[in-house]
Amino acid sequence: MPAALESTLLMVVTGVVSGVMATRDRNPCKAALAEWGWLAWLGISDAFNVLLFFAAYKYTISIAVLAHYLTPVFVAVGAPLVLGEKLTARTALAVAGSLAGLALMLAPSGVSATHAVWLSAALGAGSAFFYASNVLANKFIVRSFSTSEAVFYHTLFAAPILAAFVPVSAWPTIEPRAAGFLALVSIGPGATASLVFLWGLRRMPAAHASTLTLLEPLVAVLVASAVFGEALGWRTMAGGALILGGAFAVITQGARRSPALPSGS
């Protein structure tokens, strides 16, 4: 099925799961209009993050991933300006080292600067921008929305946008078995992952959380090796070591404590 249709179904499943959890995870604080605006932007930015990332994948895979993981750089630059978070030298070095490791691990050798490469890089960078704004926007709704509520409400904005990009001809061709399998899998990587990520994001600086997301491609490479038998070369091993080193530097840093969360977080 088309990527937009997959994304729509994943977002719907995420909304259903988080909506059920939100019935027992309510925040008694009344949200201000500005906070509802940030929540709406959270859904919009998440939708375009997914759409641009899949669009970048149509041209190249490795370049798309590399560009998408500019996110920690955007967050590291934006967090001091938008959130007032302090960018430490250790965090900056961790971001730089992790990105270098990602480039070493994923960048193909001998890639020419073709139109497809530049377009994939631009779309991936656009995805990174929306992903970064998603991370930052979450910090503005922490007081008035619980984790489950934030995930649920943001899907109400994201799902219709994703659905609008699904070709009309694709809807009648949905195979029930494939859709059911996707829905089942979406409970884990979609709904559960979104809830856990947001829960963690609320308890650490945004720059630290976005740096830790660089573990994602490393995990993907390791799973590809274990499940599909893809070879792990020296570049993969060296790049993975740099990423893990950056993650270790972030999680062992004595960051300032995040503000206390309200009940129902």
What residue segments make up the domains of the chain, in order of their start? 3-169+179-251
pTM comes to 0.78
CA-atom Rg of the chain in angstroms: 19
Indicate the pLDDT class of residue 109, thresholds 50, 70 and 90.
Answer: low
Q: Give per-residue pLDDT as tens, 27-64.
A: 888 899 999 999 999 999 999 998 898 888 888 777 78
Section 127-144 average pLDDT? 92
For residue 8, the model assigns a pLDDT of 93
Q: Give per-residue pLDDT as tens, 219-257.
A: 877 887 888 787 778 887 888 888 888 878 876 775 444
pLDDT at 167 over 60: yes
Residue 49, CA distances (Å) to 41, 56, 67, 175 in order: 12, 11, 12, 26
Indicate the pLDDT class of residue 144, thresholds 50, 70 and 90.
Answer: very high
Window from 59-63, 199-203, 228-232, 261-265 with minimum mean pLDDT: 261-265
pLDDT at 20 over 90: yes
Section 60-89 average pLDDT? 83
